[in-house]
Amino acid sequence: MRIIIAGGHGKIALRLAARLKSGAVGLVRNPAHLADVEATGAEAVLCDLERASVEEVARIVEGADAVVFAAGAGPGSGAARKDTVDRGASVLLADAAERAGVRRFIQISSIGAGKPIAPGRDPGDDGVWAAYIKAKTEAEEDLRGRDLAWTIVRPGRLTDEPGTGLVRLAPEVPPGAVPRDDVAAVVVALLDNPGTAGRTLELVAGDTPIIDLVASNE
């Protein structure tokens, strides 16, 4: 399979590319990150999703079996970039997928998307967390309105601990953490199981093998 990964230098994206190897194409905006993506065995393509046109991205996506939106503005970014990356880049990628005729679309979102922000939840009360959740929510809503075979994954708090292959994956799960390794493994399993299209699934660490849970959510 040829899988396009937006946000190709992100921690989840690099783990995903390492699993897919030559089948992956990681999109990065910084030329200095090309080598890191290529070191996983994947192809690296320079593409800034905050600046690129739909036509430019569609040319990259054309012929792919699926696209994965794993991009994010990242820690330290302000509310404005939460919108341009976490929402705007997702919308652009979905536009490009539609134009290129690529129907399978996996979106990595976040637990908390689609729900009101609890009072006091925004660290430092600077509005950035609220902007992040708003951007993820609007990206999800945009995707649900499209004629794409989409699946939305909402991981809990992300960690760099080694993956266990054991998770909880369902439309709603209790709050919790999940290793980035396991998020990448779940995305691979979802790519292999198109019957999960049209599902929004929350993800945290658990005690059930990933492949069993993905199959149960078809």
For residue range 3-52, list pLDDT tens digits in order: 999 999 999 999 999 999 999 999 999 999 999 999 999 999 999 999 99
Higher pLDDT, 167 or 75: 167
Pair of tokens at residue 106: 């996996």
What's the whole-number average pLDDT of the chain? 93
C-alpha span between 202 and 7 (Å, rounded): 20
Predicted TM-score (pTM) of this structure? 0.94
Q: Which CATH number characterizes residue 116's domain?
A: 3.40.50.720
For residue 14, the model assigns a pLDDT of: 98
Higher pLDDT, 47 or 81: 47
Looking at the structure of the chain, the number of domains it has is 1
Torsion, CA 69, CA 25, CA 184, CA 107, rounded to 10 = 10
Q: Which of 27-41, 117-131, 140-154 comes out lowest in average pLDDT?
A: 117-131
pLDDT confidence band for 95 (50 / 70 / 90): very high
C-alpha span between 15 and 66 (Å, rounded): 17
Is residue 87 predicted with pLDDT exceeding 70? yes
- C-alpha separations of 41 from 14, 29, 47, 185, 213 in Å: 10, 19, 19, 17, 28
C-alpha span between 179 and 177 (Å, rounded): 7
Residue-range definition of the domain harbouring residue 171: 3-216
DSSP, residue by residue, 88-120: IIHHHHHHHHHHHT--EEEEE--TTTTSPPPTT
Average pLDDT over residues 56-65: 97
For residue 80, the model assigns a pLDDT of: 86
